[in-house]
Amino acid sequence: MKIAVLDDYQNIALNMADWTEVTKMAGVDVFQDHISDQQQLLTRLMPYDVICVMRERTPLTAAIMRQLPNLKLIVSTGFRNASIDIIAAKELGIEVKNTDYFDHGASEMTWAMLMAIARNIPAEVQNVKNGGWQTTIGTDLRGKTIGIVGLGGIGSKIAAYARAFGMNVIAWSQNLTAETADGAGAQLVTKEKLFREADFITLHLVLSERSVGTVSKHELALMKPTAYIINTSRGPLINEHDLIQTLTDRKIAGAAIDVFETEPLPADHPFRTLDNIMATPHIGYVTQDTYTLFFKDMVAALEHWLRQQ
């Protein structure tokens, strides 16, 4: 048996869990690099019986799986992985297993990004390194309004953080009810009202055909010129072209983005050079506790499966 562990950017997979029993039963190859080209990806994956993937870093589509005759098992980190065609896997007789997941990493990252852009922390850190001193004026959180798009597990945590900082909390999503919003300490408003009134807007929706492009030029145009938008959920929730144009024209104060339509972010992407965006490399779930959970569960799933072969 041959096992491929994909997209281990930090080269830590084998250090986060005990792979001893797995390596007694199968060969394990860990890849740090990411391959976007489909033909190159197929060439790499062709020999493997098992593929281990980190969230949605490498999509496993029906077209790819049909060309991998040796593939018998996919192990993915997290509860769900929208980039795996589960129906096609079932049709092809490929098992798909998932690991457990901690959702506090994403909410903590969201709040860290919100505070960083509010107080201009990245710019001031760089100013100090460049010999400068106090070149910007921060934004207070107390008394400001946060708009939460999607009030599920993570969104509800953000609502609690916001209340602790004395913020007004409003929320919207297509299926959100006033009762649910009230239970999370938020006020249900229309989508338009949220984008018009919020000083900070943060997205926490599951990516689906319905949620793609939830934020486009229409919503961005409603925002205050002093407002910020934050996305630690999924890149396609925001139309990137529209956000780039909005930031270029300085129609809003800024953005904090941890997720992108294409990952890793291309070297020439405008998000790498615009001075009113704080872009981070999808690190919302990249924490010690979460990675330990991911890889321990991955190893357990592999051991169980291999012993049945």
Comparing C-alpha atoms, which of 29, 70, 69 is closest to residue 52? 29
Task: Give the integer Cα–Cα distance in Å for 17 and 24.
Answer: 15
Comparing C-alpha atoms, which of 162, 303, 301, 305 is closest to residue 230? 162
Burial 138-164 (b: 16+ CB within 10 A, else e): ebebeebbbbbbbbbebbbbbbebbee
Residues identified as active-site: 234, 263, 282
Sign of the torsion formed by the C-alpha atoms of 32, 36, 42 and 48: positive
Long-range CB contacts (< 8 A, 24+ apart) of 207-216?
Answer: 207/82, 207/233, 207/234, 207/236, 207/237, 208/82, 210/174, 211/237, 212/236, 212/237, 213/237, 213/238, 213/239, 214/149, 214/238, 215/149, 215/239, 215/242, 215/243, 216/242
Check if the beta carbon of residue 154 is closer than 8 Å to that of residue 131: no
Task: Give the integer Cα–Cα distance in Å for 286 and 150.
Answer: 22
**Residue in this structure with the two tokens 């959180």, named with its chain if needed:** 141
